[in-house]
Amino acid sequence: MDNTDETLAALLGRGGVYYRVAGSGVREQMGSLIAGLKLPPETDAAIDRELLLKAALEREDLMNTAIGRGIALPHPRNPLITDSAHQFVAIGFFEQPADWNALDREKVHSAIFIVSASPKTHLRILSRINYFCQQEGFRKLLLERAPPEKIVRLIAESEQAWR
């Protein structure tokens, strides 16, 4: 499979799931999440974390990424990497839910952070994440701060059924 067609489960496997992400607001929480990312060496070497944080916060300033129900989908506005082998998705569960200005006024407890190599790939990833965020079972796993294996399994099983 070409990396541009990589599954969401594989991207999450590369990016990881993070618990007890510190911070009392958008900027602190994103900073903590990005600082704590444990990426494969080749991906980690390709990413400037300071630039990634700056780009994600600039995107947040343009339009917040809180989609409601306690979930946010932060991401840089433009790709900061060019190699699709370096793209990833990471989930961060915050120690304390915070106000990200969601339309439903719910505080954000979980962020699904997206780093993609092209606008086309970004839209495909975003579409899949959006699908899962509409599914009660997935939202329940986020709310329960489920183990990574359970989250990835649910995603992988759904993606397998789509083929």
Judged on CB neighbours under 10 Å (0-12, 13-18, 19+), 57 is: middle
Q: What pLDDT was estimated at residue 99?
A: 96
Name which of 134, 108, 125 is nearest 30 in CA terms: 108
Q: What pLDDT was estimated at residue 1?
A: 35
> Looking at domain 3-162, what is its CATH homologous superfamily?
Mannitol-specific EII; Chain A (3.40.930.10)
Q: What pLDDT was estimated at residue 2?
A: 40
Q: What pLDDT was estimated at residue 163?
A: 74
**Furthest CA-CA distance within the chain:** 41
SS3 134: coil
Spans of the chain, pLDDT less than 70: 1-5
Beta-strand relationship, 108-115 and 88-98: antiparallel
Is the four-CA dihedral 4, 52, 20, 124 of positive or negative sign? Answer: negative
| Domain assignments of the chain as residue spans, ordered by start | 3-162
Q: What pLDDT was estimated at residue 143?
A: 97
Angle among Cα 40, 46, 49 to the nearest 5 degrees reads 90
Name which of 92, 35, 38, 95 is nearest 65 in CA terms: 92
Task: Report yes or no: 87 and 117 within 8 Å, Cβ to Cβ.
Answer: yes
